């Protein structure tokens, strides 16, 4: 279904007026995009306090094996994105988005009755695949309506709202566990998916006109992916984003064990995890305010350097026999805050040359970023040995590799503003 507005991406609204292609006002558009993006964060972060109970309930003795509840969701989420971009480019955004929300709800509720760990992991992978469709289509919808710095601004505002979810999700998980078994967390996810799917169905119009859709064929898909793979900017910033996301995923899968085993502060986990997410939201909001004035590269390059420097200091602290909690926590929070800036800008920079094939570009970029990042983070998580060292080293390695990739991508000219920036 087309909105009938005739507005092309480059003539999209620039302020807080109506987002005519989507059929909503600007504020509702931001909130809806943020909540659609939050499907991923909620499905991951609400599970973290429940990992010990899930492991005990399903007979998983190895604490590192319990991380798979998070890892398989990330892998299913990452790998599936390559399918949904071409589908949304061919059939439209709503045709993919609304069924994805329906199946996400179904798989969430099905997980309640699983009786084996393998079955639970299968439901989590299926959840991840549905969330992949939501993420790909949501990013393409934003690109349908905005471009350049305006796209980065919109994504930063939506990320600032969506970041409320990581702040409160572990607390929601802990609160549910106080009054009910872990299965009720999946009931909560199912209810959230159903409400959000209904809102999308009723309020969001089609943003891809019929005359701009691309056929699904091997040649068309290969051409689109070849266009992405041959673009230095898209490739470089996608790989750099993947490396930084690897650090984020390492923190997600390891954080519950770090707070429990390394610092003996398991009771603080939900609040501390939420505090780091809060800092990410604040930095993302500031990015939305400053990006129009300073440009995406200036802000994100400095944030990436801050990410690497904070990681280096964390490595130094982690080598102590008993690393102090507060300096370690503050450095991890700084790394997460820097990631909030890097993520929004790197994704926008990678997508900028791909307006004509936004759906395919969003899916391929998502596959590399999230699958690669989840795999890298899982490797770091598997090395958890009761100390802070593996996580700190993971942050540092990913941060410095990302700097090298960005330097290669921009031919050594960091902090500069491009014509599109």
**What is the predicted pLDDT for the residue at 420?**
55
**Residue 276 to residue 339: CA distance in whole angstroms:** 11
Which pLDDT score is estimated for 160?
Answer: 64
Instruction: Find, among 340, 314, 347, the residue nearest to 328 by Cα.
Output: 314
Residue numbers of the chain with a pLDDT score lower than 50:
1-18
The Cα-based distances of 88 to 117, 152, 168, 353, 380 in angstroms read 33, 21, 31, 18, 34
pTM of this prediction?
Answer: 0.81
| Structural domains of the chain sorted by starting position, each given as residue range(s) with its CATH number in brackets | 20-409 (1.20.1250.20)
Is 19 in a helix, a strand, or coil? strand
Tell me how far apart the alpha carbons of residues 176 and 184 are, in angstroms, rounded to a whole number: 7
d(CA 252, CA 273) in angstroms, rounded, equals 9
Name the nearest CA neighbour of 388 among 308, 338, 327.
327
Distance of alpha carbon 375 from alpha carbon 378, whole angstroms: 5
The pLDDT, as a whole number, for residue 301 is: 94
What are 231's strand-pairing partners?
Answer: none
Distance CA 148, CA 14 (A): 11
pLDDT digits (tens, 9 = 90+) for 99-137: 999 999 999 999 999 989 999 999 999 999 999 999 889
Instruction: Write down the pLDDT at residue 3.
Output: 37
pLDDT of residue 308: 97
Give pLDDT, residue 356. Answer: 66
Helix (H) or strand (E) holding 101: helix 93-110
Give pLDDT, residue 165. Answer: 84
Long-range pairs for 150-153 at CB < 8 Å and ≥24 separation? 150/12, 150/14, 151/348, 151/351, 151/352, 152/287, 152/288, 152/291, 152/296, 152/344, 152/345, 152/348, 153/288, 153/291, 153/292
């Amino acid at each position: 279904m087309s909105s009938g507005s005739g507005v092309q991406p480059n003539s999209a609204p620039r302020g807080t007026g109506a987002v005519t292609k989507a059929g909503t006002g600007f504020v509702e558009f931001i909130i809806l995009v943020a909540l659609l993006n939050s499907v991923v964060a909620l499905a991951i972060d609400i599970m973290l306090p429940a990992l010990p109970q899930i492991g005990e309930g399903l007979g998983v003795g190895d604490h590192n094996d319990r991380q798979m509840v998070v890892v398989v969701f990330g892998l299913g989420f990452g790998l599936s994105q390559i399918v949904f971009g071409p589908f949304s480019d061919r059939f439209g955004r709503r045709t993919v988005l609304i069924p994805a929300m329906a199946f996400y709800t179904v798989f969430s509720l099905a997980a309640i009755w699983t009786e084996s760990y393998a079955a639970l992991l299968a439901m989590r992978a299926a959840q991840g695949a549905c969330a992949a469709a939501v993420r790909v289509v949501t990013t393409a919808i934003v690109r349908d309506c905005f471009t350049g710095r305006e796209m980065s601004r919109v994504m930063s505002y939506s990320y600032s709202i969506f970041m409320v979810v990581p702040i409160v999700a572990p607390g929601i998980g802990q609160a549910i566990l106080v009054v009910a078994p872990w299965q009720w967390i999946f009931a909560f996810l199912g209810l959230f998916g159903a409400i959000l799917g209904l809102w999308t169905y009723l309020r969001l119009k089609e943003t891809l006109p019929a005359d701009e859709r691309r056929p699904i064929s091997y040649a068309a898909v290969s051409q689109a992916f070849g266009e992405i793979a041959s673009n230095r900017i898209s490739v470089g910033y996608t790989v750099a984003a993947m490396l930084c996301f690897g650090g984020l995923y390492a923190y997600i899968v390891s954080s519950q064990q770090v707070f429990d085993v390394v610092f003996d502060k398991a009771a603080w986990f939900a609040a501390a995890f939420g505090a780091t997410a809060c800092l990410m939201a604040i930095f993302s909001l500031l990015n939305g305010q400053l990006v129009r004035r300073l440009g995406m590269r200036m802000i994100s390059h400095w944030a990436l350097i801050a990410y690497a420097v904070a990681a280096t200091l964390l490595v130094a602290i982690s080598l102590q026999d008993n690393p102090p909690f507060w300096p370690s926590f503050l450095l991890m929070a700084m790394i997460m805050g820097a990631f909030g800036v890097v993520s929004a800008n790197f994704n926008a920079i990678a997508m900028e040359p791909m307006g004509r094939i936004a759906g395919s570009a969003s899916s391929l970029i998502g596959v590399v970023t999230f699958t690669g990042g989840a795999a890298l983070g899982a490797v770091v998580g598997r090395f958890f040995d009761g100390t802070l060292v593996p996580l700190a080293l993971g942050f540092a390695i990913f941060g410095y590799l990302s700097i090298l990739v960005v330097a290669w991508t921009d031919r050594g000219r960091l902090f500069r503003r491009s014509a599109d920036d």
